[in-house]
Chain A
């Protein structure tokens, strides 16, 4: 039991962060390298002003017509993204770990808030799951991997909540929580989860095309 715990928080944690950071750098570099060789057009037309203009519109809730005609998805996806990004950074249990291991610490979320945010992520995942099963167009696009990724994303939140509230078997659950978090990190560079890093570039490029060449809005 203890061995598992030490493995999960020790070597495996290092591996997870290495794979996440190293893998992301590798993926970025190979795309950049390919783009330089084959899509020089992207660099020619990329325009900071128009790229930012587009990115900003798409980061503001209801900033695009697409978001306006999909209001439920917009509300859910914004809450989901804010929570999935901030919760792990500021949840008390995590900050404590940083404090213990590296002696650095920062602001932590009040318990009730952390709980609420965790709950939002889990509920959002259920909503995404519902969409994937019920909406014909989303269903048509869904692959088995999409379900797996959704599960990988929800798992650290479900288990984190479990551990925090010390439901039965929370000792085992702690280990599962840690492993699931690590799996999620490692999945990022190699799955569609990489969208978090590519967003500024895909949006920025289409924004530059629309702004600089097409002289039209793209939101």
Chain B
């Protein structure tokens, strides 16, 4: 339909973006407040890493091709080091004496022009971690109260309800019971065991699942039952493993969320946590939140759905009727590939479930992010067009896989689904998106009742 959209070299105009959260926050800023908050964050919360990342940079631009924003927009402002220049480079040089106008642009860069995907760290000869620098910028913006409206709303929801989507406690249990009923049509006597002590698996999901994609819960329930697992889900807050506070820079709240999630599992004496197909939630539990709480590695084994499904096939715990027979390609989500090295397991699952697999290139650790990650999609409509523009490199990559015959994109991450959906629609890629759970559910041989 519109591959032409790939060639128009339109540069997205940052200045035009007006976000009420950022604008309202700016009204309350004075130069003194900016300076004191910045220096508090720099002096109390950062150290040698930030200094080395900013000072060691030789301004060589090798990282540019590491970033899909730069590849898509071909604008130097979107190269990783270019984003550092617009944020902490300036802040450190001026020792925090920057204007509210500067903070407005810096917030836009840090929240909406970087997915914190860490791909650039693999392209910089020194391994400088621009995602870390952007997180520091977000932390400053959070403390200044300059955060995009939509993502701040999800952070508020986290603090009021301990889940991302304002799901009330009774709605959560209702949803589980409703999904249990639905799933009983597939497997008679199927249960979603709530608060079962000593289960092998504590299954947690992200807030948007009960809200928008409840069928994923019943699919998971069917798979768990088919595999004959001893599993459970919590009935009380702690069930949501997602974390937008990690992305707004609200680390205090992030710690509360992660503690509640770990405690839910530990109080039930579960053997391990299995998480649904989400990338950022996994990052928050496995990488960021646990460390913020002082654990070098998570206090209880944390397993992403990919690792779990792979195990099901390796141990022959489930059987399939036949392989999924449309040609598939696989999107490697940053947070579980660059974040946890699950790419080979993902390929094992593809081999076990699909008859034809077409790699997209680049792949594995080098895959492009969907442009939605790091909370960017959660910044909502004001930034949507810019985000989809930044996905041009991704669109080209999808078109190339499609040209080789792929019809279905497997994306084992919620955020990626959101981002890829918009890209597929905008550029007219016309491919279908699926989770691994969708495919496994579709071809699963149900146990005889």
Contacts and interface: CB of A to CB of B under 8 A. Distances in A.
B365 A217 contact: yes
A199 B47 contact: no
B65 interface: yes
30 contacts: A31-B52, A32-B48, A34-B51, A42-B48, A64-B122, A65-B122, A65-B123, A66-B66, A66-B122, A66-B125, A131-B61, A137-B64, A140-B79, A140-B85, A141-B59, A192-B57, A194-B56, A198-B52, A198-B126, A202-B52, A202-B56, A202-B128, A203-B126, A207-B127, A210-B338, A213-B287, A216-B341, A216-B365, A218-B122, A219-B122
Nearest first, the 5 A-B pairs at minimum CB distance are A38-B47, A206-B127, A215-B341, A140-B76, A35-B48
Interface of A: 31-32, 34-35, 37-39, 41-42, 44-45, 54, 58, 64-66, 69-70, 73, 131, 135-143, 146, 192, 194-195, 198-199, 201-203, 205-207, 210, 213-219
Which of B51, B70, B85 has most A Cβ within 10 Å?
B51
Contacts of A143: 59
A191 to B, nearest CB: 9
A218 B65 contact: no
Interface of B: 46-49, 51-53, 55-62, 64-66, 70, 75-77, 79, 81-82, 85, 121-129, 287, 291, 296-297, 337-341, 343, 362, 365-366
A141 B56 contact: no
Contacts of B362: 65
A198 B339 contact: no
A91 B128 CA distance: 34
A141 B85 CA distance: 7
Contacts of A139: 76
Contacts of A206: 121, 127-129
A42 B49 contact: yes
Contact of A70 (B62, B81, B366): B62
A interface majority secondary structure: helix
Contact of A137 (B61, B123, B343): B61
A31 B366 CA distance: 31
A54 B338 CA distance: 15
Nearest to A32: B48
Given A140-B76, A218-B121, 7 more contacts: A38-B46, A65-B122, A65-B123, A140-B82, A192-B55, A202-B127, A215-B340
Contacts, number: 132
Nearest to A69: B65
Given A35-B49, A41-B291, A137 B70 contact: yes
A195 B56 contact: yes
Contacts of A64: 122-123, 125
A73 B62 contact: yes
B193 to A, nearest CB: 31
Contact of A141 (B52, B61, B366): B61
A137 B79 contact: yes
B203 to A, nearest CB: 23
Contacts of A215: 340-341
A167 to B, nearest CB: 32
A37 B365 CA distance: 33
Contacts of A210: 121-122, 338
A138 B60 contact: yes
Contacts of A136: 75-76
B313 to A, nearest CB: 20
Contacts of A217: 122, 365
B434 to A, nearest CB: 24
A46 to B, nearest CB: 12
A66 B88 CA distance: 25
A136 B128 CA distance: 21
B74 to A, nearest CB: 8
A58 to B, nearest CB: 6
Contacts of B49: 35, 39, 42
A199 B61 contact: no
Contact of B58 (A34, A42, A195): A195
B147 to A, nearest CB: 25
A141 B79 contact: yes
